[in-house]
Amino acid sequence: MPGRHEIDETQELYYPAIMQAIVKTGFKGFVAQEFIPARANKLTSLQQGITICDIKLAPLALST
């Protein structure tokens, strides 16, 4: 999708909720995502994406 760069709040998809929904299915594997960082510091972009998508690092409270 054009313009899909950093995995952050500028994107249409809300990744913390997506990751929580995947966990609720009982899935215990890895989830991979493709993105093309636009920032000069590519590692900062990668770390941000990891933090947003890792439910252990950024838990999201969902009502049950």
**How much is the pLDDT for 6?**
85
Tens digits of pLDDT across the chain (64 residues):
566 788 888 888 888 899 999 999 999 888 888 888 989 999 999 999 888 888 875 444 444 4
Reference 63, options 15, 28, 20; nearest CA is 20
- CB-CB neighbours of 11 under 10 Å: 15
Distance between CA 18 and CA 53 in Å, rounded? 8
User: What is the reported pTM?
Assistant: 0.69
